[in-house]
Amino acid sequence: MTEKFMKNEQLNFIKKQIALIKDSQKKNVPQTVLAAVIDLANAKILDLFPNIPLEQQEMLDLSKLKTDKEYDQYIGHLSEFMLSFPTISEPQLKKMFPKHKKLKLPDLSNIDHSKLTYLSWNDLRSNKKFIVYGLDGKMAGIECEFTPASKKNFCSFCHCFGEVVYVSTVTKAKKAKNPDYYKSIGNLICADSSECNKKITNVEYLTTFLRESLGIEK
């Protein structure tokens, strides 16, 4: 049995590569071009998993796949190797945000943890958006003020175009010479985090945003 090794954002990345291949197939590009698209997709996918055993490398190889059914089966097979988002209890979440006596919590029982890169929920009453992510092996949480955006835009986390909200958070970073210094960081991110979790293909910006908010040096 192969152990679980794939994160939600990595499976999303693979799905995106397959969508690109299918798109080239639909456009009837010359065979050599299609072969190049598939080669590149394969290389990019393997790049996501440095140092994996040969068995897993072979499993990830999509060069032999042709039909939609084969691609679906491939994704279905990979889905068996998903690493789950860590289970987190309501008391643990409350402890993460001690300032909120009546913290509104997400319905954890309703969330598929294998399809999560980050956990997020909104409290409409206080206009807060909470974001929880396993940063450097430890669960980290931040709260942001949020304002609905009037127009669709690109999300900073998943880089997709859609319904977004403007979030801002005050960083905990301090400047030695100026104790009153504070910096607010703002971003447009998907209004619906379950949609964002379906589209996010890397955690680069998410982790940068969290580090900056929490005042953690890289």
Which residues of the chain form contacts with Zn ion (CB under 5 A)? 155, 157-158, 190, 196
**Smallest distance, Zn ion to C-beta of residue 166, A:** 13
Nearer to Zn ion, 146 or 157 (CB): 157
Measure the CA–CA gap between 151 and 163, rounded to whole angstroms: 7
**Residue 160 CA to chain centroid, in angstroms?**
12
**Smallest distance, Zn ion to C-beta of residue 192, A:** 8
Q: Are strands 161-162 and 128-135 parallel, antiparallel or unpaired?
A: unpaired
Nearer to Zn ion, 48 or 200 (CB): 200
CA angle 143, 160, 126 (to 5 degrees): 25
Nearer to Zn ion, 17 or 193 (CB): 193
CB atoms within 10 A of CB 164: 23
Nearer to Zn ion, 60 or 190 (CB): 190
Nearer to Zn ion, 159 or 172 (CB): 159
By the 10 Å C-beta count (0-12 exposed, 13-18 middle, 19+ buried), 165 is classed as buried
**Smallest distance, Zn ion to C-beta of residue 157, A:** 4
**Smallest distance, Zn ion to C-beta of residue 74, A:** 25
Nearer to Zn ion, 100 or 198 (CB): 198
Q: Which residues of 83-102 are buried (b: 16+ CB within 10 A; e: fewer)?
A: eebeebeeeebeebbeebee
> Which long-range contacts link 68-76 to residues 24+ away (Cβ below 8 Å)?
68/22, 71/18, 71/21, 71/22, 74/18, 75/11, 75/14, 75/15, 75/18
**Smallest distance, Zn ion to C-beta of residue 150, A:** 18
The rounded radius of gyration (Å) of the Cα atoms in the chain is 20
**Smallest distance, Zn ion to C-beta of residue 196, A:** 3
